[in-house]
Amino acid sequence: MTGPRMLYRLSPPGTMSWCAAPGDAVSRAPAELDALPWAPAERAFGADLLRIAVRHGVASPAGLVLDARHTVDLGRADGLRSDQLAIDDAQAGLRESVAMRLIEQAYPGSGELAAQLDEKLRKAAENTAREAEAQLAEVLAAPVRPALAEHWRRLGGRYPD
């Protein structure tokens, strides 16, 4: 038996639940998967999550069960970019503050050094966002498993592709 894993269960028309289960849980019989202690998920259900599930999930009577490790990069790039925009806004306000002007007077050139560091950090954040996009593209590059897409439709779900 392997360590616990976080699993998601997607059910039509668009509900999602989660549970922490033994790592080998996804290899169990489908009925056993639905017997796990599922709880409503905080994560939003979305088309990309469903696209991942029909590639990497398993069928259960209630829907599709997916190991959460396949979803770690979903939305990560957007989150990183949104966070960077918030940081940029905060830093712009800080650079215009009286305190920063006093620091620049006391330590000439410190503002330029701070701007250079900010740019390096901005580029690093963008590189990380691009890596997340590439990793998500790899997950989505796997072929759709027709049996899983059909199972989803049979349960009343609509598949986006």
Per-residue pLDDT tens digits for 68-85: 888 888 888 888 888 889
Strand partners, 67: 7
Per-residue pLDDT tens digits for 13-70: 989 999 988 767 777 777 788 888 999 998 888 888 999 999 999 999 999 999 988 8
Mean pLDDT of the chain: 88
CA distance 1 to 20: 14
pLDDT confidence bin for 1, thresholds 50/70/90? very low
Pick the closest to residue 9 from 76, 77, 71 (CA basis): 71
Instruction: Please indicate whether residue 23 or residue 150 has the higher confidence score (pLDDT).
Output: 150
Lowest mean pLDDT, pick from 5-9, 90-94, 120-124: 90-94
For position 3, what pLDDT does the model report?
A: 64
